Amino acid sequence: MAVEIGAIREPRWTRPALLRREAPLRPDLAPWTGDPLRVVLEGEVPVEGVSLEGAAGVYPLIVVSRQFRDGFTHVGCATRPLPEGLYDLFVFRRGAARLVSPHAVASVAERDAFTLAHISDLHLLKDVAGALVDQTDRVAALVDRLNRLAPALVVCTGDVVSRHGAEKEPLSAEAVEWQARRAQELLLGLRMPLFMVVGNHDQAFGYSRTAWHRYMGRPWDRPTDDYGLDFSGCHLAFVDGYARYDGANRLVERSMTMEQLLWLHQDMRQAREARWRLLFIHYDYGGELTPLLPELRADMLFYGHSDKPIPADLEALGIRNGHLLDREAYRLVRVSPKALRDKAVPWDKLMEGASRRKK
C-alpha cells in the first residue's frame, strides 16, 4: 500500500537520515550517544510526540521545537541507542491524525569498509520496440536481489518513471502517478537506506512533479533536491538532474542551474578531507558538470540516463566511471580504505537468477 508523503519534509524515505551510534554526545539536547534527528514539517504544526518504529521496536524521542523559515524544525533525540536498521518516523500532532514517513531513518554503525549498490533508470513503464511495457517484475526482482546482497545503502540515479509512450507522446497524469505509486510500494521493500536522485523523466510535467512530491517527497531548503552525505569516512554528493517539458514533450528547462553548480562546488570543497568523494547525478545534459570535474576532485562519478557516456576523459582526471548502462541492473561497489572495486550486473543475468529461484 502506498503512503502519501504529506507535511513531513525531512527526513523522507528517498533521503533518509542516518543516525550514527558513535556520534559525539549532545548534552544540550538529550542523553543520547548518537546523532540528533532533525524533523522538518511544512507549516506550523504543533507536535505532541515523535517516535521511530522498526523491527527492533518503538523508540520515542525527546523533542525540541524551533521555528525555522516557513515552518517548525523539530529536533528529536532518542533516550537510548537504537539497534541498527530502518525505522518509520511517526509525528503525533495535537488534535490531528499522526504523520508518517516510512523508512525515513536508519541507525547505522561506521565501518572501515562497506558495500554500496547503484541502480538507475527503472522506468516502470517503458517503450520497448514500439510498445509500452510494464517493468514492475524487473524492479521486484531487483529489490529481492539487493536484499540478498545486503549492501549498506542503495543509490538510485533517477528515471524511476517514464514521461512518454511508444509514440513519444506524453503519458497521462494517471499513468505517471501509477508509476510513482508503484515505485514507492516496490522500493520500500528494500531493507537498507535508499537515496534517490531525480532524473529527467521523474518531474517532466506539472502533474509529474505533483506525483513525485506525493510519493517520493520534496526538499524544504532549496528549489532543487541536491544534498550531501557523510558515511564511514566518505562523502556522497547527490545532484538533482531534473528536466521540464511542455505539452508537446519539448524540453524547456533543465539542470544544472548556476545555484546547483555553486552548491556542488562548495559541498565537494568542504569534503576535501574525506577518504573517498562519490558523485551521483542522472546525467550532465548540457555539459555544465564536465568543466568542473578537475576542481571537484571526485573519486567516482555515478550516472545513468542512456548508453551514451558523459563526454569527459574520466580516466585522465583520475575519476572512476560509474556509468550504469541500460542493459545493466545494478552496480555493486566495495568501498574500503585503500580501494574502490565495482562490478555491474546485467538485467538478463538478474532475471535468469530470479527465474531459477521461482522453480
Give the pLDDT confidence of 75-102 residue by residue, as tens digits.
887 777 789 999 999 999 877 788 999 9
Residue 74 pLDDT exceeds 90: no
- DSSP label of 29: T
- 232: in domain: yes
**Per mean pLDDT, which range of 4-13, 42-51, 323-332 is the poorest?**
42-51
pLDDT reported for residue 118: 98
Helices (H), the chain: 136-149, 173-187, 206-215, 258-270, 293-296, 347-358
Domain boundary among 108, 136, 166: 108
> Biggest alpha carbon distance in the chain?
61
Asked if 88 and 102 count as a contact pair (C-beta separation under 8 A), the reply is yes
- Based on the fold, state whether residues 161 and 255 are members of the same structural domain: yes
- DSSP label of 188: T
State the pTM of this model: 0.94
Residue 32 pLDDT exceeds 50: no
pLDDT reported for residue 134: 96
Q: How far is the C-alpha of 124 from the C-alpha of 172, rounded, in Å? A: 14
pLDDT reported for residue 69: 63
Domain region containing 36:
8-108
Q: Which cell is 315 given?
A: 580516466
- Based on the fold, state whether residues 65 and 192 are members of the same structural domain: no
Q: How far is the C-alpha of 195 from the C-alpha of 228, rounded, in Å? A: 11
Across 162-193, b (16+ Cβ under 10 Å) vs e yields bbbbeeeebbeeebbbbbbbbbbbbbbebebb
Instruction: List, for residues 265-323, the tens digit of each pLDDT value.
Output: 999 999 999 999 999 999 999 899 999 999 999 999 999 998 889 988 899 999 999 99
Q: One-letter amino acid identity for 256?
A: M
Q: How many CB atoms lie within 10 A of CB 90?
A: 20
- 264: in domain: yes
Q: Whole-angstrom distance between the N-terminal and C-terminal Cα of the chain?
A: 27
Q: One-letter amino acid identity for 107?
A: S
CATH number, domain of 47, equals: 2.60.40
Residue 27 pLDDT exceeds 60: no
> Which residues neighbour 260 within 8 Å (Cβ) at sequence distance 6 or greater?
224, 226, 239, 240
The single residue listed with the C-alpha cell 541498527 is 84
CA 336 to chain centre: 22
- 3: in domain: no
- Based on the fold, state whether residues 96 and 25 are members of the same structural domain: yes
Predicted confidence band at 30 (pLDDT cuts at 50, 70, 90)? very low
- Based on the fold, state whether residues 60 and 140 are members of the same structural domain: no
- 2: in domain: no
- Based on the fold, state whether residues 218 and 309 are members of the same structural domain: yes
Number of structural domains in the chain: 2
- Based on the fold, state whether residues 303 and 240 are members of the same structural domain: yes
